Structure 1
Amino acid sequence: MDTPSIEAINLTRQYGRLTALSDVSFVIRKGEVIGLLGPNGAGKSTLMRILSGLLPATSGSAFIAGLSVTRFPDEIKTRIGYMPENNPLPEAVLVQEYLHFRASIKGVPRKEIRHRVDEIMDLCDLRNKAARRQIGKLSKGFRQRVGIADALLAQPEVVIMDEPTIGLDPHQIRAVRNLIDRMRGRMTVILSSHILHEIDTCCDRSLIINRGRIVASGTLSQMRKRYSLGASYHLKLKGEVRQIDTLLAPVHASLKRVGTDPADEDGYHLVKLSADSPDDLGHAIISAIVSHPSLMLKECYRKEPDLEDVFLAATKRSWEETSGAQHAEDSLASSPATCPAGRDSEQADV
């Protein structure tokens, strides 16, 4: 069995009384592109810094290519390329000169540096467009490419990128996405982003973290099943919209209207329905509506739950679970201790 590229076992990180990570465990196989998702302050950056050897865990273990991050820190740094969210780059240095310097301190053999830098600049589309330009005069998109090129110079097995597309326009985001696609299979990639569409497009599967815990993981299809997310249906409808509540009741018990937009200039409303059923209810919905003479249906289409729906469901459930547990603890702490008859006070405290 192949050694995983990345393995986390019960990772916990505390800052005083604050727990940034709590008992986080997962395995990432060689060549996978993994999306790391979570709200602000969820623990994503802390996790990436621990995996990169930049921050020690309070407890638990992390392994890169089978090597302990804490026992072999120097070896780990040669196997990881890390691009932080706010990547500090020297403004006055030429791109080519900067990458030559970074290759030398990353341990690339001297006779291989020129070839390696040229190769990486080609991969990141920098060689013809930015090699002889000062970094400070580059656009945000090209600066991001320089940061990614830096992370790739030593041909690491693992690449960790924190918000690589933040602040980029759609064309620049597509360029970064294409670059990640070219890395697929050659390197293991962890990609953190708030742009859920990019994660869905680029990544083989995702890890969703909230309040320091992994609350969901897997492919989009797997996570849909875990949270029992059914499809939604969008209708373009003219007429008395409230009538469809009665018309659709026999179609499925879980089918309900969840939103109605104001009528457009032609008098059509966008009506949104949801259902927990995995079955396609489209034909039954259409049949029920067209049977009513006062309603005019222009279109009906089924929308599968996307990564945003999964993300919202996973984080909402984790908030409900942790809030419920905290409420129970607070209630227990605030209630007066009682001792049943025949029990001594020491037993009651236990």
Structure 2
Amino acid sequence: MLKLDGLTKTYAGQRGVNSVSFEVAPGEVVGFVGPNGAGKTTTLRMIAGTLEPDHGSVHVLGHDMWSNRKAAQALLGYLPEHAPLYEDMTPRTYLDFLLAARGLVRNQRTALVSQAAKRTQIEDVLDRRIESLSKGYRRRVALAGALAHDPPVLILDEPSDGLDPNQKRVTRALIRDLSPGRIILISTHQLDEVATLCSRLILIADGHVRADQSPADFAAQDPKGQIEDVFYRLTVASTDGPEKPGEAHI
């Protein structure tokens, strides 16, 4: 299991994430959705161990992220929304560097680089400098970096960002192929992606979990089955906030 228990993070006296708890089992692809500022990226960073919570815990397949961070992070692949890339490297040298940093020996690294490149379909640009690649290719290189060590847990923040429709199709097919026996948590603004790709939807708004159910059950809350309308109804109050006395609508 990937298990979150009471994760809380406060910024400047305001709680960005407020006691978030949920579990994800192997074989599940979970869509983690919410409006901007809801706490999605903060939660993912705490899961990945790059940001410590004020309270709460994260366990990755039984390993506590804070007391046994090295073991927990070894089991996890993390794709940040704005993943850093070394632009003077090629995708091949970049992936090899990431694997070497994880302590893998050269013969293991060669096979894993080839596997990651094939999965993300970047084989034709493996030896081009990253600075020369399009935004879509760069995003796929970053995704290859997240899954290069073949982790059992994948945390993906906006994996389709910057991809054209064909690249999105390839990435979604890849996630489906990777899902058996693997824990995959995807943060995305694309609700159609959640509906077609995920077995479960977790909605966060104003730092709280507002829904945790299948995309079909979530959409069924609207008479017309419109997932966007349910999302709007459950999140608009937290994004707009109540009208203050004396305030006029503009």
Same fold (TM > 0.5): yes
The separation in 1 between residues aligned to 2:236 and 2:96, in whole angstroms, is 47
Give the aligned partner of residue 230 of structure 2: 310
> What does the per-residue CA deviation read over 1:205-248, in whole Å, with 9 as the maximum and x for residues that have no partner?
111110100111110232245xx4223xxxxxxxxxxxxxxxxx
Contact 1:220 1:306 in 2 (8 A): no
Are 1:173 and 2:154 an aligned pair? no
Are 1:114 and 2:110 an aligned pair? yes
Residue number among 154, 158, 162 corresponding to 1:163 in the alignment: 158
Q: Structure 2: give runs of 5+ residues left out of the alignment.
A: 246-250
The separation in 2 between residues aligned to 1:94 and 1:169, in whole angstroms, is 22
Residue number among 72, 87, 90 corresponding to 1:91 in the alignment: 87
| C-alpha distance 76-60 of structure 1, shift in aligned 2 (>3 A) | same
The separation in 1 between residues aligned to 2:127 and 2:236, in whole angstroms, is 49
Give the aligned partner of residue 183 of structure 1: 178
The separation in 2 between residues aligned to 1:30 and 1:191, in whole angstroms, is 14
Q: Secondary structure at the match of 1:41?
A: coil
The separation in 2 between residues aligned to 1:212 and 1:137, in whole angstroms, is 38
Give the aligned partner of residue 216 of structure 2: 221
Length, aligned pairs only: 245
Contact 1:107 1:154 in 2 (8 A): no
- The letter for the 2-side match of 1:166 is D
Query: Alpha carbon RMSD of aligned pairs, Å?
Result: 2.0
Are 1:58 and 2:54 an aligned pair? yes
Are 1:76 and 2:69 an aligned pair? no
Higher Rg of the two aligned structures: 1
Contact 1:12 1:60 in 2 (8 A): yes
The separation in 1 between residues aligned to 2:226 and 2:198, in whole angstroms, is 14
Describe how 1:1-350 pairs up with structure 2 within 5 A: 4=1, 6-127=2-123, 129-224=124-219, 228-231=221-224, 305-316=225-236, 323=242
The separation in 1 between residues aligned to 2:116 and 2:39, in whole angstroms, is 31
Q: Secondary structure at the match of 2:125?
A: coil
The separation in 2 between residues aligned to 1:217 and 1:134, in whole angstroms, is 42
Residue 48 of structure 1: how far off its partner (Å):
0.2
The structure with higher relative contact order (CA 8 Å, sep 6+) is 2
What stretches of structure 1 move > 3 A for 4+ residues in a row? 316-320
Q: Secondary structure at the match of 1:160?
A: strand
| C-alpha distance 317-15 of structure 1, shift in aligned 2 (>3 A) | closer
> What does the per-residue CA deviation read over 1:41-81, in whole Å, with 9 as the maximum and x for residues that have no partner?
10001000000011111111111111111111111111111
Identical pairs, percent:
33
> What does the per-residue CA deviation read over 1:314-334, in whole Å, with 9 as the maximum and x for residues that have no partner?
2146669x859x99xxxxxxx
Give the aligned partner of residue 248 of structure 2: none
Q: Secondary structure at the match of 2:193?
A: helix
The separation in 1 between residues aligned to 2:211 and 2:7, in whole angstroms, is 16
| C-alpha distance 70-323 of structure 1, shift in aligned 2 (>3 A) | farther
- The letter for the 2-side match of 1:23 is S
The separation in 2 between residues aligned to 1:168 and 1:221, in whole angstroms, is 26
Residue 95 of structure 1: how far off its partner (Å):
1.3
> What does the per-residue CA deviation read over 1:71-127, in whole Å, with 9 as the maximum and x for residues that have no partner?
111111111111111111111211111111111112223331111111111111122
